[in-house]
Structure 1
Amino acid sequence: MNSSLLMLWGLWDDVYQRCTRLRYIEKGANIFRVVPLRYRGETLVTSDNQKIYNGDLIVKIHIHNYYFATLCKGVKDDLRLALLLRRHIMLSLPKLAAYLETMAERESIKGIVGTTMLHKGVQPLGFSISDVPMNWFFRYKRWYLRLLLRIIHPDGKRRVQTWNHEMPLKRVYMSKEALLERYGTNQSPTGDLL
């Protein structure tokens, strides 16, 4: 990604941040931004057999795409990109757990939920995966994430064309208990993202 495009994206990201309820876990040092909200969708059963029902309070997780793009600047190799993403997710999950532990809504929160095309290899991290309904919202979100991939990835245009049918949008989620057990105070991150 060229410097001018990255600078413009940074300006847009700042405006976007001010216009949304997304909260930084640790600005400039964590790949996640979050927002507590009510879950809308089918019942989710987590890897530790907890259930997240429609209307339950969750922490919606978002990968901070602009931050990740700044980390990827100059990286051309797919393997290095995957390792970079893995490293930052592994560093970010314990901080996410610590953040959740300090939230006023902590007792009511059922889990963390995100929507992504980067779902391969997340199960060893404690996440469960399910399909999303392809309604207008998720179609728009998939289009937006594919656009971001074209921008972030050094060979993004070819990737999007090649992965057209191999890049389904998925919901990834984990119970609050599993997050705190795996990544909470005095826990070490486990699992691989590759």
Structure 2
Amino acid sequence: MRNFLAISMSFALLLLMACSNPVSTAAQDDKAATDSSATQPLYPFSQYLQHELEYIDSMPLAVEKIVRQEGKTTDSLIIDKATFKSAIAFFTSIDPNKTDLRSQYTETSFNDLSTEAITFSISSKNATLPLQQADILLHPTTQQVKSVALSIEQSFADSSVSTKVLWKHHMKCQLAQTIQYKDGRSINRITEYVWDKPF
């Protein structure tokens, strides 16, 4: 009887260990997968924008600036490349792949039949970060970037600014901004920088 009890207890212990190990391993695998996805590089749109700036510098192109406020054109002029780069420096310097930012963003990708493009979508749930969303559209065959769209949120002492940046490959950059002042006033402004108009 004692031998039977000993054998039964040993079998139960072995069964318990066998059942618990796969669960532990699965949990470790899930954690490893999560940690890995948080460190994989996101689509490097920041480097793409830097290459675009280099392209503009290398070409004999003028940059036209057009400003529309509340639907009316308020300014239209030719600016030099240094002025253009200074005006968009904040937006072209944003890089969610930086070590201190990478864990705050997730990325999905899909083939978008409606736009005939492969789309990489980068987003953050951290509302305090300026970059909330980035959508990069690639040509499905050549993998060339067609456009980059960024959603930026900024807070200042007297206002908050929501900016939608749309960068068209080798063509133009558009900033669609809503400026909300703390006294209740708001302004809708679109600023376009064009260096290559389509025929």
Q: Say which structure, 1 or 2, has more relative contact order (CA 8 Å, 6+ apart).
A: 1
Q: Do they fold alike, i.e. is TM over 0.5? A: no
TM-score normalised by the chain length of structure 2: 0.27
| Structure with greater helix percent | 1
State the TM-score, normalizing by the size of structure 1.
0.27
Higher normalized strand content (fraction of residues)? 2
